[in-house]
């Protein structure tokens, strides 16, 4: 079945640690996105990538980094510079500039700082 | 700046009590208006894409409509399993969607 997978489902981080969240898709979509979701807030865009080896900052990129070495993969690293990383992280993919820009989401990773 | 505002923030219904969720938007050059359903602790599930004013789409008890300023998600005779948060998003010329904060729907049996 085609879809988006995220791992791990739950992740715990100690102060000062970098952690990496995985996102893989087999939908053959060109574009991939990372969002952060906090209670009572809408989805906030962290980074997005429309093609391999290229990515752009979203609204809240500070303290995060990404890479896009393969079409299928878009890992997100939460660095120690992110002061309030506890949140629910969502990865999405889409076919930009096509007949539809519909984004499809993965199941999410819940990150908690200890 | 593109904006999407959803109302109400929370809605409680009795089973069978029909209602509507509102999504007001100011998105420059709207390319698409999206509705998603999100269950607690899970990723959003795609429901509908609407492209132009006057368009309507239906799926089971849900019907989405679009005008030039807002979109409605009508829920007919809801069941407890329709309880979820419903998200609205609009995409304009940047191809990056702007999301609303969602409406939390609880349907009581």
Report the pLDDT value the prediction gives residue B95, as an integer from 0 to 100: 77
Helix (H, G, I), strand (E, B) or coil at B106: strand
Burial class (CB in 10 A: 0-12, 13-18, 19+), A82: buried
Q: What does the pLDDT look like over B14-65, one tens digit per residue?
A: 999 999 999 999 998 898 999 999 999 999 999 999 999 999 999 999 999 9
Nearest CA in chain B to A87: B41
Q: A96 to chain B: which residues are within 8 Å by CB?
A: 95
In sequence order, the 6+-apart residues with CB closer than 8 A to the CB of B107 are B12, B13, B14, B15, B78, B79, B80, B81, B82, B83
Contact between residue A86 and residue B82 where contact means Cβ atoms under 8 Å apart? no
Q: Is the pLDDT of residue B107 over 90?
A: yes
Cβ distance B49 to A102 less than 8 Å, yes or no, reads yes
How many residues does the structure list for chain A? 114
Whether residue B83 is predicted with pLDDT greater than 70 in this model: the reply is yes
What confidence score (pLDDT) does residue A32 get?
A: 94
* Alpha-carbon distances, residue B21 vs A35, A73, A86, B5, B9 (angstroms): 24, 35, 30, 11, 9
More reliable by pLDDT, B87 or A2: B87
Q: Residues 35-74, chain B: which have Cβ within 8 Å of A?
A: 36, 41-46, 49
pLDDT (tens digit, 0 to 9) for every residue of chain A, 114 residues total? 669 999 999 999 888 899 999 999 999 999 999 999 998 888 999 999 989 999 999 999 999 999 999 999 999 999 988 889 999 999 999 976 555 578 999 999 999 988
User: Looking at beta carbons, which residues of chain B come within 8 Å of A88?
Assistant: 41
Task: Name which residue leads in pLDDT, B1 or B54.
Answer: B54
Residue B60 contacts by C-beta under 8 Å, 6 or more apart in sequence? none
Q: Are B46 and B109 in contact (CB under 8 A)?
A: no
């Amino acid at each position: 079945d085609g879809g988006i997978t995220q791992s791990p489902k739950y992740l715990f981080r100690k102060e000062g640690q970098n952690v990496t969240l995985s996102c893989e898709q087999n939908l053959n979509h060109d574009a991939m996105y990372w969002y952060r979701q906090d209670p009572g807030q809408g989805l906030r865009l962290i980074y997005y990538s429309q093609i391999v080896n290229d990515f752009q900052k979203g609204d809240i990129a500070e303290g995060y980094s990404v890479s896009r070495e393969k079409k299928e993969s878009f890992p997100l690293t939460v660095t120690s510079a992110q002061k309030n990383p506890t949140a629910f992280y969502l990865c999405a993919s889409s076919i930009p500039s096509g007949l539809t820009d519909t984004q499809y989401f993965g199941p999410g990773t819940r990150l908690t700082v200890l | 700046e593109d904006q999407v505002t959803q109302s109400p923030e929370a809605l409680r219904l009795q089973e069978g009590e029909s209602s509507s969720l509102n999504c007001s938007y100011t998105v420059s050059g709207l390319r698409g208006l999206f509705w998603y359903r999100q269950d607690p602790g899970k990723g959003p599930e795609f429901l509908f894409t609407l492209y132009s004013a006057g368009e309507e789409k239906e799926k089971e008890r849900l019907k989405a409509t679009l005008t030039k300023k807002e979109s409605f998600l009508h829920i007919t005779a809801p069941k407890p399993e329709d309880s979820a948060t419903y998200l609205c998003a609009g995409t304009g010329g940047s191809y990056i969607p702007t999301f609303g904060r969602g409406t939390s729907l609880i349907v009581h049996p």
